[in-house]
Structure 1
Amino acid sequence: MRDVELLEEGLALMGLGMGFVFVFLTILVITITLLSLLLRRFAPDPAEPVTSGAARSAPPAQQDDEVMAVIGVALHRYRQHHHR
């Protein structure tokens, strides 16, 4: 009889603990959601980053050609070295 009472108390304690955690996490999610909405409402919009004309221009075509040549040489050497 004592074992049954201990089992019932254990199950009741487990249910109470799980219920407390569930309620706490629900309140936490609601609080974070409300704070997020509040922050979006009162926070200023982010400023657009200012970029100069030189930063926006594309890299020169000569540099692209150099990079492609270096990659081609590296591939050729790799394939020669690791030929099966």
Structure 2
Amino acid sequence: MNNLINDGLGLLLLGMGFVFVFLCLLIVATGLMSKFINRYFPEAAPVTKKPATVPSSASAASASATDPKVAAAITAAIHQHRNR
């Protein structure tokens, strides 16, 4: 009986050892792949549009207004929802 417990503990340590080593290798491989991807395939910088210089605030407000068709569709949806 004592021999079976020793064999069981040996298999337990061997199995947990393999899992631990595999997970450590996985962490190292993931880190290396991340460095490789970032070095040879960097992310493109986001392109930002330069805002048009508008001297009056009224034209800036009209530029940020929504499309009239979209506003009409939103108004109709709200009206239909409230009439239920």
TM-score tier after normalising by the smaller chain length: 0.5 to 0.7
Give the total of aligned pairs: 69
Q: How large is the RMSD of aligned CA atoms in angstroms? A: 3.0
Q: Does residue 72 of structure 1 match 2:72? A: no
Structure 1, unpaired ranges of 5+: 51-58
Residue of structure 2 equivalent to 1:26: 24
Structure holding more helix per residue: 1
Q: How does 1:1-84 map onto structure 2 within 5 Å? A: 2=1, 4-41=2-39, 43=40, 45=42, 64-81=67-84
Please give the TM-score of this superposition, normalised by the length of structure 2. 0.57
What residue ranges of structure 2 are gaps of 5+ in the alignment?
48-62
Higher RCO (Cα < 8 Å, 6 or more apart): 2
Q: 1:48 to 1:69 in 2, by over 3 A?
A: same
